[in-house]
Amino acid sequence: MCGIIAYTGSQEAAPILLDGLHRLEYRGYDSAGIALLHRKRIRCWKAAGKISILRQRLPETTAGQCGIGHTRWATHGAPTDENAHPHTDSELRIAVAHNGIIENADVLRAQLMAEGVSFSSETDSEVLAHLLGAFDGSLIDAMRTVLPRIQGTYGLAAIDREAPDTVVVARLGSPVILGIGDGEMLAASDMSALARHTREIVHLDDGEVAEMTPRGFQVTTLDARPSQKNTTQLSGVLADYDKGGYAHYLHREIRDQADVVERTLSGRLDTRFSTAHLGGLNLAPRELLNIRRIKILGCGSAFYAGMSGAHMIEQLARLPVSAEAAAEFRYRNPVVEPETLYIAVSQSGETFDTLAALREIRRKGGHVLGIVNSVGSTIAREVDGGIYMHAGPEVSVASTKAYTSMLTVFALLALMLGRLRDVSPQRGNALVEALQGLPDKVRETLALEPAIASLAPMLVTAHSAFFLGRTSAYPVALEGAQKLKEISYIHAEAYPSSELKHGPLALISSHTPCIVMLPNDELLHKSLSTLEEIRTRGAPVIAVTDADHPRIRELSDEVIHIPQVEPLLQPVIAGIALQLLAYHSAVLMERDIDQPRNLAKSVTVE
């Protein structure tokens, strides 16, 4: 959510800033702007709406080799030209682009207005420009004076007309990454904006501020103590951020998933001992044996993946495992136990609520592992150990390949913990073979796309849809409903099949399509009774199943017959089928599939 790009060097800044903003579009935004510094003068161009509108407002030539840009996702104030970033002070000395939320903005605004300052926007962020502009000194000293007064979160970049080739950036709770070039420096809130220009990056930590010039950078704390930073190599290549010939990033990312599963599994299956090798956990076998329960924390699709992961681990390791929404965890004053292992799951590694939960657990002495996709992200750096997903960059707001990669990681973790505790070598060998064959099963599922696409018309005229499943299929139903409502805007709810007659059945009618998950397991006969209940009420039924039971065809209007797999891995296959169903429904409805309304890719504010 929101995006920052900054540049200082020998090239004209405007094209670089605009390209960076374009690559940040996937995070979600409703306005954009840039500010350029040239000959001790700051000029700003801003526009509500798409970056294409901003491009039209720029003159043919825009001089300036130092500047900042921003894509805004509205929080304080409507998406208007005035509320778009960057913001300036009254004297046009300072320009600021800010991600995050200033919780005491109203107090600061009132103080500034009492001093005679006039505001031109409704945003909380504008107070930063006026506070920095009022400081009589260097921009970095102004940052060190002003930022301790800020309550909330920030990832910000600022320029000062008195320092013609300098950009100052700072971070507290919202990511900022430096990109090191040849005679130039960049900064961004996301690696995608840096991929074209650099392979060497530095992550800022909370409470740090960096001063960048074309000659290099210096990172210090807010109290001016030097920070020693290690550079890392940018993961992914520029082509990873392109559509690859598909109409939408989401479609490419769905189609990429066989390769994604292969990457996630690569080097992690131990055929000799019929287990998984996960070296980044930083826990010895004896320490893992001392674990008495596991708690998984995530938001959105990561939470649903965690629910599936809890089922996998509990089945194989015979440990009590539960998943919880990270956003709720820290507000209920949780009991953190020394023999509980906590797992934080986040594609970006920057999800604010998951990061806050992680910090609360560590503050109370808990041990936290991370499952993340972004190398060097904040969660990856703050956990005690973890597993990188290696899903590659995920651009579309709605998660597909990252969700599938999370499930694959949980299967590996369940196998490893199971072999330590309760799983025989023979059972372990069968699971290893099933995981080795999983990429081909994903390819078989993707081959069903034309048949699945033909079912989309059943959904596009519906006002509501229901997704139903039992035990391991319930989290898949939750994720299926999430995908449909995210990208098609069709209201969708998921329920355990066993709960249908405890309330939701009142809503079932001929106008409410039901997508029913029917894994070929010991509960199939109970799931068939759910089909009977739905059919009696006249609701259209799409069954998603790997079973061959004749009653499924008799009781369903349509059947998505997915490949048979090891039951533990069935959520991976069923989830991909539901992604395709949601995608083609959204295509028929002509939705903005990669950037659905009101949503952002990485939620870095509370």
The residues that are catalytic are: 2, 601
Predicted pLDDT of residue 526:
83
191 and 223 fall within a common domain: yes
Residue 450 in contact with residue 579, Cβ under 8 Å?
A: no
How would you classify the pairing of strands 293-298 and 321-325? parallel
Q: What are phi and psi of 391, to 5 degrees?
A: -80, -15
My answer on whether 359 and 495 are in the same domain is no
Total domains in the fold of the chain: 3
| Co-location of 481 and 550 in the same domain | yes
Assigned domain for 442 exists: no
Per-residue confidence (pLDDT) for residue 379, from 0 to 100: 92
Measured at the CA of 147, the angle between CA 87 and CA 26, to 5 degrees, comes to: 50
Q: Which of 8, 11, 6 is nearest to 24 (CA)?
A: 6
Residues 71 and 191 in one domain: yes
Domain identity same for 194 and 264 = no
Whether residues 230 and 295 fall in one domain: no
Co-location of 77 and 33 in the same domain: yes
Query: Could you tell me the CA-to-CA distances from 546 to 315, 453, 468, 517, 552 in Å, in that order?
Result: 20, 18, 15, 9, 11
Same domain, 423 and 462: no
User: What DSSP letter does each residue of 416-427 carry, written as one string?
Assistant: HHHHHHT--HHH
Instruction: Give this prediction's pTM.
Output: 0.82
Are the CB atoms for 452 and 352 separated by under 8 Å? no
Strand order in the sheet with 491-496: 491-496, 464-469, 514-518, 541-545, 558-561
482 and 570 housed in the same domain: yes
Nearest to 248 by CA among 582, 602, 472: 582
In a domain, 209, yes or no: yes
Q: Are residues 78 and 41 in the same domain?
A: yes
- What CATH number has the domain bearing residue 105? 3.60.20.10
Q: Is residue 441 in some structural domain?
A: no
Task: Say if 324 falls within a structural domain.
Answer: yes
CATH value at residue 296:
3.40.50.10490
Residue 250, domain extent: 243-436
Look at residue 541 and tell me if it is in a domain. Answer: yes
Walk along the chain (606 residues) in steps of 10 and give the mean pLDDT of each run: 90 94 81 94 94 92 94 85 94 94 93 94 94 93 95 94 95 91 93 86 93 96 92 69 87 96 95 93 92 96 98 96 93 90 94 92 95 88 93 90 98 97 95 97 98 96 93 96 96 89 81 92 82 86 93 92 95 97 96 83 59
CA 481 – CA 521 distance, rounded (Å): 22
Asked if residue 260 and residue 164 are part of one domain, the reply reads no
Final residue of a structural domain among 382, 412, 436:
436
569 and 522 share a domain? yes
For residue 605, the model assigns a pLDDT of: 56
Q: What is the number of other CB atoms lying within 10 angstroms of the CB of residue 451?
A: 14
